[in-house]
Structure 1
Amino acid sequence: MTVLKNRPTIVLIAGHWLGAWAWDDVLEHLDPTRSRAIAITLPGLDEDDPSRATRTLDDQASALRDLLTRLHVSDGQPAMIVAHSGANAPVSLILDSHPELVSRVVWVDSGPMAPGSAFAPDFPEDATELPLPPFDILARQASLDGLSTEALDRFRARAVPEPGPVVRQSVELANDARHTVPTTMVCCSISSSQVLEMARGRHPMFAEVANLETLDVIDLPTGHWPMWSRAGDLAEVIQSATTHSS
């Protein structure tokens, strides 16, 4: 009973176009006796929400904060957050506003955003949403390696367009305490050596990595969506990371 009571909480957040369903394969591999894992669908990515196209990054960060409250996460019992790809924006906001609630952040083929940055700052103001591109175009932006035809079909069928305000909004950060949160980077489509080299060179994509006080890097070679291409291996990495969380 003690093991169950003291299970660490893991919050899983997928990137653009994806909801909680994207973690189904990973959740099947996580041991519920060792951790309590919850996947969240961010505001703007629920196809049944009639106002979803107007949702903002602030809405997403607020929803994440509300979830942590419902899960009774506190500075005495912080949660581990797993953020894939474009989930880095709302998670960066949470790390800035409530670093005490996060025991560790695991970036999955992603990383912390730099202050003032945005996913697509030039996305037209009159464009209400960003739909999932055709796969031949998407493959030029992010690796599809390891994805089966079935996985691609599911991706296409279940993807929800990303709200325009989310991709345009810049991330305003001011709390240096975000750099103290222990961090694991799971490097999939870009190797850890490349990521660290880019961080040292202050490349905009990974400039914030150089500021982190505690960093583990793990290579999990595959495409940009390892929750489908290497679900079991990713679950093992996530489960192992809970043992290193403070």
Structure 2
Amino acid sequence: MVAPRGRDYRGSMADFVLVPGAWLGAWAWDEVVPRLRTAGHGVHPVTLTGLVGEDDGRADGEHDAVGLETHVQDVVRAVEDRGLKEAVLVGHSYSGIPVAMAAERIGARLARLVLVDAEIPVEGRSFANSLWDGGGMAAAAIRHNGGFWAPLIAEDFEGQGLSQQQVERIVAGSVPHPGASLTEPASLARSLSELPATYVKCLLDGPEPRTEVAELLQGERWDLVEMHTGHWPMFSRPQELARVLMETTGARS
């Protein structure tokens, strides 16, 4: 693990805004939150719009309007509505895109951006475009599933360091993900290299970050931390992930 090169927060308290990846809600951080709060930090897990389940009260067709920009605004509001001054924005998987876009919008309220095995926004490119086939299969699946991306099944979690019980918990809690948020292209006001950031690479999901992330890690403001676990460390290694979050921000543990 490398020491963060951003602002010095040693001995200080942080406000962590925790945003899970596709199909998941704030509940995904349930085993991470107590460790952070016990250490005295503010913790604010977020459920993005459209991910509270099929009975979320939205009328037919309303989910079609839940795009990437909706999720960016969810994160911005999580910071601004709570009056957070030194926010550590944590994005996992898909949510790395809206979280990083939000990070550049909240200005001086940002303490650090932490991306947990996450995608990053690339100008003009969507999350679906980052998939191995350029997003064609995902786009087709979304169309055939009423505008949603269907959750993974148990077999999809093999080799990710998860117990059967952990897999069952993820599968049981996952809900269809609003498809427009995955196909809407990202838009950036400035380079992500200007943001103080840490990228957490989960090695069971691949030994190297994507090319775009690797390039950012060459800069002075981005750091790399490796975890020997799979793509869902909030389930497989929650205590270790909580420690990593505190250490990468320099926050007191």
**Is TM more than 0.5 here?**
yes
Q: Does 1:114 align with 2:88?
A: no
Task: Indicate which of 177, 181, 198 corresponds to 1:166.
Answer: 181
How many angstroms apart in 2 are the aligned matches of 1:113 and 1:106?
Answer: 14
Change (3 A) 1:210 1:216: closer
Provide the residue aligned with 2:7 in structure 1: none
Provide the residue aligned with 2:74 in structure 1: 63
Q: CA deviation at 1:28?
A: 2.2
Q: CA deviation at 1:190?
A: 5.9
* DSSP-derived class of the 1:25 partner: coil
Q: CA deviation at 1:174?
A: 2.6
**Root-mean-square deviation (CA), in Å?**
2.5
Pairing 1:173-184 to 2, within 5 Å after superposition = 173-176=188-191, 178-184=192-198
Change (3 A) 1:19 1:144: farther
Pairing 1:118-197 to 2, within 5 Å after superposition = 118-121=126-129, 122=136, 123-124=139-140, 126-127=143-144, 128-136=147-155, 138-139=156-157, 144-176=159-191, 178-189=192-203, 194-195=208-209
* DSSP-derived class of the 2:31 partner: helix
On the 8 A contact 2:121/2:187 being kept in 1, the answer is no
Task: Indicate which of 15, 18, 30 corresponds to 1:12.
Answer: 18
Task: Indicate which of 87, 90, 106 corresponds to 2:95.
Answer: 87
* DSSP-derived class of the 2:115 partner: strand
User: TM-score of the superposition, structure 1-length normalised?
Assistant: 0.81
**What are structure 1's unaligned runs of at least 5 residues?**
1-5
Q: CA deviation at 1:192?
A: 9.3
How many angstroms apart in 2 are the aligned matches of 1:158 and 1:120?
Answer: 22
On the 8 A contact 2:16/2:41 being kept in 1, the answer is yes
Pairing 1:186-225 to 2, within 5 Å after superposition = 186-189=200-203, 194-195=208-209, 198=210, 203=211, 206=213, 209-210=216-217, 212-225=219-232
**Residue type of the alignment partner of 1:46:** V
